[in-house]
Structure 1
Amino acid sequence: MKNIAKMISLIAFCLIVVPCSLFFAGAIDLPLVKTLALIGTIIWFASTPLWMSRELQVDSAEVEI
């Protein structure tokens, strides 16, 4: 599951970076760059927490002494 989420995150990151580079090179128009970057950003924010999460520390209210 984590590998799939990492792959989706990488693809989403490419959807953010590649269109910006193509616009800088003059290959695509600005509205297309904005659309692809928005889609890539939404997918990246949805998929990255799935594999980048960390173990939560034990809360002091849950510990019995």
Structure 2
Amino acid sequence: MNTVRIASLISLGFVIVPCLLYFTGAIGLDVVKWSALAGTIGWFIATPVWMSRRLPVDATEVEI
């Protein structure tokens, strides 16, 4: 797994985990807002890097 993919998964965790912790009453709303903001920014920076890669084209699958 790429470093960028790991970074995007961690960023996604910064969005999901605090929301679940807030739902259980473990953390406050301000912590959720800031961590979700940081996770969202990290996600939008890291994810396009690995999702916009070019895939190799197999000549047998191309129809002209």
TM over 0.5: yes
Partner of 2:39: 40
Report how many residues are paired.
54
- Per the alignment, in what secondary structure is the counterpart of residue 28 of structure 1? coil
Where structure 2 has 5 or more consecutive residues not aligned to the other structure, the ranges are 55-64
Backbone CA RMSD of aligned residues: 1.2
- TM-score of the superposition, structure 1-length normalised? 0.79
Name segments (4+ residues, structure 1) moved above 3 Å. Answer: none
Letter in 2 for 1:34: K
**1:5 is matched with which residue?**
4
- Relative to the length of structure 2, the TM-score reads 0.80
Give 5+ residue unaligned stretches, structure 1: 56-65
Task: Give the alignment of 1:22-37 within 5 angstroms.
Answer: 22-37=21-36
1:22 alignment partner, SS class? helix
What is the distance in 2 between the residues matched to 1:22 and 1:15?
A: 11
